[in-house]
Amino acid sequence: MTKTQPQALWIYAHPEAKSFNRDLFDAGRAELEKTHTVETSDLYAMGFDPLLTSADFGSHAHDDDPFMTRWVSARADGEVPADVLAEQNKLLAADLIVIQFPLWWYAVPAMLKGWMDRVFASGFAFDIEDPETGGSLRYGDGLMAGKRALIVVTAGEHATALGPRGISGDIDTLLFGLTHGTLFYTGMSTLPIHLIDQADDTTAESSAREITRLTERLAGVYEEAPVPYRTRKSGQYRPARVLRDEFVPGRVDLGIHRAESE
């Protein structure tokens, strides 16, 4: 069957059925449905099990092989748990992935982290062999290459406190493990984070304003330039996977991994 419009997957991690986050989710999904086929993963509503256990390894659960080997073997033998396989198939079908969550303790909620632990499995999201080098595809390459990812995060803090010199830490640094270490690592092109600050003190007016800001951004999501992370294949991290001294010399912050830093 010919694909007639792009597909989006919206991953939503908030426990409340009535919340500002839910309003954002509903409005954002409705906006994307104007131009996309939209799948959703409402993790709490689904009752998704976030715990990665030996059950994820099927008949290989009690093999003597190392953890990673058993994980890959389960996928190779078609023994991926049904709930994980369903999420993996959603990811493979999507052109755009939106991940929405509240910032809890300066990180993603445990539910979302557990979803990533199980769904971004060895042999699916990483440990994919590079046919050119025999190594692994990562940092700009992999099964997720060609997909765009947008993070929508709400925070109780002010945006200034989550800025480069803010007391709470720069939001790009706080979520670097997600943007760069998970999404870009698996090949996705990551868009700048969509931060909604002071989410604990919203009013009807501010909520409406933020919903409009989000829907307007979604309407132009393919016109945006992704974050220009340096790829592993760029040759800029040789040897030993360390950024060479000639690139942004003297700096050690995580921003050095963006090509725009030069």
pLDDT at 126: 82
Structural tokens at position 150: 């947008």
pLDDT(1) > 50: no
Structural tokens at position 221: 């999501």
Handedness of CA 211, 212, 215, 220 (dihedral sign): negative
Secondary structure of the chain: what % helix, strand, coil (to 5)?
Answer: 40, 15, 45
Residue 3: pLDDT band with limits 50, 70, 90: low
Helices marked H in the chain: 20-32, 43-46, 67-76, 82-93, 110-119, 171-174, 176-178, 204-219
Task: Report phi then psi at 56, rounded to 5.
Answer: -70, -10
Domain boundaries along the sequence of the chain: 7-226, 230-262
CA distances from 19 to 97, 106, 136, 200 (A): 22, 20, 41, 10
pLDDT(193) > 50: yes
User: Is pLDDT larger for residue 73 or for residue 106?
Assistant: 106
pTM for this prediction: 0.92
pLDDT digits (tens, 9 = 90+) for 90-135: 999 999 999 999 999 999 999 999 999 999 988 888 877 777 776 7
Q: Which residues pair with 12 in a beta bridge?
A: 42, 100
158: Cβ contacts below 8 Å, ≥ 6 apart: 166, 197, 198
Strands 96-102 and 7-12: parallel
pLDDT at 85: 94
- Domain 7-226: give its CATH superfamily: Flavodoxin domain (3.40.50.360)
pLDDT digits (tens, 9 = 90+) for 238-258: 888 899 999 999 999 999 999
Residue holding tokens 């480069």?
A: 164
